[in-house]
Structure 1
Amino acid sequence: MILVTGATGNVGRHLVGELLCADAKVRALTRDPATARLPGEAEVARTDEMPLDGVTSMFLNPAVFWTGLGDALERARDHGVRRIVMLSSSAALDDDPRNAIGAHHLEIERAIEATGLEWTFVRPGEFATNALAWAASIRAGEPVREPYARARSAPIHERDIAAVAARALLSDGLVGAKPVLSGPEALTHPEMVEIIGAAAGIPARFEEISPEQAREEMLSRPYMREGIVDALLRVRAEAVDRDVEISPEVERITGRPARTFAEWAADHF
């Protein structure tokens, strides 16, 4: 049995599908099973109960444990879980203590390593799904307002993250690995907005704003904290006019090229 935390999230939902297609037994955790809309073949349970009987492998999404892991790792080990695949972040490569995102993921990675269990840490960079925050503005004909217009990244499709995580759970080839994942191309946010507009068949505009304006807007959103906002803005600032390293890991692990941002936009718009 494979336990998937965050099973209704952007990655978790696709991971459940990947595992079921491989005929794996899946227990999917969600805050509200009644509204989960997961495949009937999956056993659905509540996140706060986290039933571990019969579980041998576990997909851990740290967003579910943002306030702390509690005794989750000890319970997993005591119930016979042998492997943990964690949705980490490429931010974990940054040892700057100001990077709250990297520090959070590194803390959990080290806690998992200390259990003595098998592990894999999947480290994607920018999620393409972050661009869903622009959907309302684009559809309303309003500009997408972001700082650092010349910052570049290689956004990755959530389906590719799920595909890598599935292989880490289903086979032994990624035990002890920390694959860094990216999409196949480097793009600026203005270029991403243009691609979304083309996929949606509507005009889409980008408007650059100051980091100060962006910080104020980001802090007004639910679940955004100062440390996270400051880390995100610093990463964007450092990415201005910088070459982006494209990871080959999605294709190496899954046997097919990583999906483009245009493919992601066509899937969502």
Structure 2
Amino acid sequence: MLTLVTGCRGRVGSALVSLLHHGDHAVRAASRNPAQLSLPAGIPSVPCDLDDPDTFAAALEGVDSVFLYAEPSHIDDFLTAAQAAGVEHIVLLSSSSVLAPDAASNPIAASHHAVEAALTASPLTSTFLRPGAFAGNAYQWSGAVRGGHPVDLPYPRSQTSPIDEADIAEAALAVLTDARLRGTAYHLTGPESLTAAEQVELLAASAGSSATVNAVSRDAWKKSVSPFVPEEIAEALLTYWAATDGSPAEVTGETEKLTGRPARTFAAWATEHAAAFRP
């Protein structure tokens, strides 16, 4: 069984490639720029740009299963090529945002929702992994924490259950290698609900930083991120944080169900990645 892993420059895809390889599962790493990948010895790589249908056929040749990122622009072409290649199973890295009532129009959820819809309409067997907030989202605060500066938060009490990307990769490994787990959707979370402020405190403690939290207005935060966050995304994030302000995030236990062990805590993630936040 040969698995094609797309998006291998990402933290989940790169971790999954290594897990498959070390488990003696045949794997092919795919990326828009495969020459830039840093892969364990013995893993073949192939160009596969989800924005370019001309790259699909060669990447999928001889492939039995695919780990797919949620890029909707040419999803129908990708599924046509997958069927022609004889692919049996696709595991989609989706998002728990698709569970929202406005998923089809929400700018954060829309791409995941569109790809899920295409896969649902396809005859191919598909499995959806729906993680919530990634632990790695905390890198957005690394500059402030390194410098010992306040981290500006519009909703410091907004809660998530951040999941370690390594746990997502292990969940993907499980559904790719155990046929009994195929064909359903899994809402993946970390093991606990934490406020944004609590996450910053854990990062600062692990890194030995004096960084604290500074509550700011919606407009001030939106202005500060405007050079790199589109306005519609910023508004969607603010709406989400407002809705979860002071409300515990759901902890599903689906991560443990797939990996067979407790999900990694955010505190453990902060300790493991402390170098990125250390003054």
Is 1:52 equivalent to 2:34 in the alignment? no
Is 1:250 equivalent to 2:251 in the alignment? no
* From 69, 76, 82, the counterpart of 1:61: 69
Aligned counterpart, 1:172: 179
* From 99, 113, 118, the counterpart of 2:106: 99
Amino acid at match of 2:22: C
* From 110, 114, 122, the counterpart of 1:115: 122
- Does the 8 Å CA contact 2:132/2:162 hold for their aligned counterparts? yes
Is 1:199 equivalent to 2:200 in the alignment? no
- Does the 8 Å CA contact 1:77/1:115 hold for their aligned counterparts? no
Deviation at 1:52, TM superposition (A): 1.0
State how far apart, in whole Å, the 1-side matches of 2:112 and 2:142 are: 28
- Does the 8 Å CA contact 1:8/1:38 hold for their aligned counterparts? no
Amino acid at match of 2:65: S
Partner SS for 1:145: strand
Is 1:231 equivalent to 2:240 in the alignment? no
Structure 2 residues not aligned, in runs of 5+? 50-54, 275-279
State percent identity of aligned pairs: 41
Q: 1:105 to 1:229 in 2, by over 3 A?
A: same
Q: 1:133 to 1:214 in 2, by over 3 A?
A: same
- Does the 8 Å CA contact 2:147/2:211 hold for their aligned counterparts? no
Partner SS for 2:181: coil
Partner SS for 1:71: helix
Aligned counterpart, 1:127: 134
Deviation at 1:77, TM superposition (A): 1.1
State how far apart, in whole Å, the 1-side matches of 2:186 and 2:242 are: 25
Cα RMSD for the two superposed structures: 1.5
- Does the 8 Å CA contact 1:199/1:266 hold for their aligned counterparts? yes
Structure 1 residues not aligned, in runs of 5+? none
Deviation digits for residues 226-264 of structure 1 (CA, Å, limit 9, x no counterpart): 332222211111001112221111111111000000111
* From 93, 96, 100, the counterpart of 1:90: 96
Aligned counterpart, 2:42: 41
State how far apart, in whole Å, the 2-side matches of 1:73 and 1:125 are: 25
Q: 1:231 to 1:249 in 2, by over 3 A?
A: same
- Does the 8 Å CA contact 2:190/2:264 hold for their aligned counterparts? yes
Aligned counterpart, 2:6: 5
Amino acid at match of 1:236: W
Per the normalisation by structure 1, the TM-score is: 0.94
Is 1:163 equivalent to 2:174 in the alignment? no
Per the normalisation by structure 2, the TM-score is: 0.90
State how far apart, in whole Å, the 2-side matches of 1:76 and 1:165 are: 19
Partner SS for 1:220: coil
Amino acid at match of 1:122: L
Deviation at 1:217, TM superposition (A): 2.7
- Structure 1 segments of 4 or more deviating over 4 A? none
State how far apart, in whole Å, the 2-side matches of 1:267 and 1:46 are: 32
